[in-house]
Structure 1
Amino acid sequence: MITVLIETGVNKHKAYKIKGKLHLKGMFMNNYQNHENGRFWIWWNNKKVEVRKISSSMQNIHCGVYDLQSNFLYWLTAIYGLNYLEKKKKLWYELEQIHLSQHGPWFLIGDFNNVLKAMDMSSGNLVQEKEYKDIISMMNRTNLSEMDTGGGGV
């Protein structure tokens, strides 16, 4: 029903050419207005659901998902966390602001590029507390929890 591609790295000028070659049917949104290489592409089958963009930034697109009668189903936020600690702090702040402005089920999908504890490895090295304390604080304030995907990080 909904397909989310993250960290596409495709220049805006090439995106629609590539989109055409993928032959995906339905509606399409991106975040080229926030990043020249469009970190997110979201497709959905508009015969099954309606997806409405609420906000976007360099690190996320936040949407509402509705049935065809415009009844709210859930919130969907596609995430791609940048690799720099200060940029990640901006993402945590953005997620807290989204949390404050919504009610109902919230589904976050993507790559936070972060770990949650020192035991998690980053390139074979133990991570420092400063690398995960802010995401833990954000998750506590927003009541988010990690789903085990077998991948090792958030």
Structure 2
Amino acid sequence: MRGLNRQDKQREMNLFLHRSNAGLFGLLETKFKRAKATQAALNLCTGWSFSSNLSHIPGGRIWLMWQHLIFNVNILRTTAQLMQCEVEHTGTRNKFSITVVYGFNDQMLRRDLWQDVEQIQGSVLGAWAVMGDFNCVLKRDERVGRPVTAAEIRDFKRCMGVGYLVELRSSGAFYTWNNKQGDDKRVYSRINRVLVSGAWLTPLPSSEVHFGNDGLIDHCPAMINWDDAIQRAKPRFYYFNIWSQALDFQQKVRENWTQRIEGTKMFQLVGKLNRLKGTLRSINKRHFNEVEIKADKAKAELEDCQTALQQNPTNAYLTRAEIQPAATYHKLHQARIQFFKQKSKLHWLT
């Protein structure tokens, strides 16, 4: 994701990460400045663990972030084009290997990537997934706007064969990247994907990757789900100071707090706090969700347009029609961030 040195991009990604309800992320094409890298990572996911390939290439093109209470992550290998790690879920003790990839644009330089993946295949045990931006398509019909040659896909196909990798079942957007250019200059391609070994499909037969629409960035975000094999973490509850501005705030809180709960002092306190969450969520829903609703509506309109473009990527009218919804969503999205940052005084960033 380009532009992550900017705080507005960091806020946008922060919001996406918290809403996705996942515990392990790979961020690609970050290009952080070394002096800002650590603070940027903390801004994105406060309290998370993280690692990058910053020491292998300027800007650290790959960042791996995880919630240490959900996953144990052991980084085994890092290069300029990939990060290889072993992951253990702390609840189920399920283990699997993940290789996060960001291939170079140059075909010759990508050969190092294919060789590294083949070497990892010889040492990995159990379930294994290779995912990310390979900067290379697999088939001729996976790019629109610029022809695909047999030479540019030959090495990728060979690597999949040697590594005994297959493409994970996917849903959502087919073209996972576009250059955001107008009319006949627009190029779409399927360069982001998730490849898995046969050992992955045995314990996780229902696993699937969903590619969302690209929104304001040039790549489609990918989310892997494997049904209920690993339980999702419950979303956190945040208190927003702006709720106290509601006219009925004190009355509702007082009514909630004065209702008796039998038990020890600690049991009463925890019970009242848990009950108060419902009251505060109700206040938020009645008084403070208009900005979020408008932003979500604008995002839905943008996604509808981008879904239509996925079906008809050469349509110049649809390409032009995407501009206004994108601008509207960007404006409302920034307003939503300012709403939480300034009025709630929730410090996404310091």
Fold shared, TM-score > 0.5 on shorter chain: yes
Note closer, same or farther for the CA distance 1:16–1:93 as it changes in structure 2 (3 Å cut). Answer: same
**Within 2, Cα distance between the matches of 1:20 and 1:104?**
32
Q: Which segments of 5 or more consecutive residues in structure 1 lack a partner in the other structure?
A: none
Q: Which is helix-richer, 1 or 2?
A: 2
Q: Which of the numbers 67, 82, 107 marks the counterpart of 1:60?
A: 82
1:1-154 mapped onto 2 (5 Å cutoff): 1-68=23-90, 71=93, 73-121=95-143, 124-147=145-168, 148=170, 150-151=174-175, 152-153=190-191, 154=193
Which range moves more in the overlay, 106-115 or 57-66?
Answer: 106-115
Identity within the alignment, %: 28
SS in 1 for 2:167: coil
Q: TM-score, normalised by structure 1?
A: 0.90
RMSD between superposed Cα atoms in Å: 1.9
**Within 1, Cα distance between the matches of 2:69 and 2:57?**
29
Q: Which is strand-richer, 1 or 2?
A: 1
Q: TM-score, normalised by structure 2?
A: 0.41
**Within 2, Cα distance between the matches of 1:120 and 1:22?**
32
Does structure 2 retain, via aligned residues, the 8 Å contact 1:64–1:72?
no
**Which residue of structure 1 lines up, in the alignment, with residue 317 of structure 2?**
none
Q: Which structure is larger by alpha-carbon Rg, 1 or 2?
A: 2
- State the shift of 1:61 in Å: 0.3
Which residue type is aligned with residue 37 of structure 1?
Answer: G
SS in 2 for 1:4: strand
**Within 2, Cα distance between the matches of 1:139 and 1:23?**
33
How big is each residue's C-alpha offset from its partner over 1:28-65, in whole Å with a ceiling of 9 and x where there is no partner? 11111111110111111111110000001000000000
Q: Which has the higher contact order (CA 8 A, sep 6+)?
A: 1
**Which residue of structure 1 lines up, in the alignment, with residue 284 of structure 2?**
none
- State the shift of 1:78 in Å: 0.7
- State the shift of 1:146 in Å: 2.3
- State the shift of 1:120 in Å: 2.6
